Amino acid sequence: MPSEKEDLAELGRYAFSRLRDRLSGLPDDEFTWEPAPGVATIAWRLGHIADLLAEERNATWLGVPGPVGPGPAADAAGALLALDAAFAVWTTVLSAVPESSLAEPIGPVGGPHADSTRRAFVLHVLDELIHHGAEVALVRDLWEAKRGTS
């Protein structure tokens, strides 16, 4: 039977692979397309997801050392590389977390979230990955509809 941490890691792998599958063939013009005035582009969303997965706060709040994440990307191909690198950072951080510490509070480093458990924080990161990944998929669908190929 998988452990709680293994379940969390598997959910992350599943959500990430679903997102990566949806990004196949992403061209630069679609990457930077704004579906409506003031609505975030895929470029912004992928940058946000990469930042979320690789931010220094993850390792700090989970009480483990963490590698440095990727920098910003200038085009679709670079964004996909950054996304892959960011997920590798997240995977490394989560792998380093002792199973027994998931139920512990984040502690003072978490500021207003100090009393939240490390498990709750992992679930927050996964929720953001799923949420913004779904937005990327929707914008890809809108792009296809705009082009009249759906």
pTM, whole model, 2 decimals?
0.94
Residue 150's pLDDT band, with cuts at 50, 70 and 90, is: low
Q: Is residue 29 part of a domain?
A: no
As for how many domains the chain has, the answer is: 1
φ/ψ (deg, to 5) at 144: -65, -40
Q: Is residue 33 part of a domain?
A: no
Measure the CA–CA gap between 145 and 9, rounded to whole angstroms. Answer: 34
Q: Is residue 34 part of a domain?
A: no
pLDDT tops 80 at residue 31: yes
pLDDT tops 70 at residue 80: yes
Q: Is residue 80 part of a domain?
A: yes
Long-range contacts: 110-113, Cβ < 8 Å, 24+?
110/61, 113/61
Q: Is residue 76 part of a domain?
A: yes
Q: What is the mean pLDDT of residues 98-102?
A: 97
In eight-state DSSP terms, residue 41 is: P
Domain span at residue 55 reads 4-23+40-147
Q: Please give the pLDDT value at position 118.
A: 98
Q: Is residue 30 part of a domain?
A: no
Distance of CA 98 to the CA centre of its chain: 21
Q: Specify whether the CB–CB gap between 87 and 46 falls below 8 A.
A: no
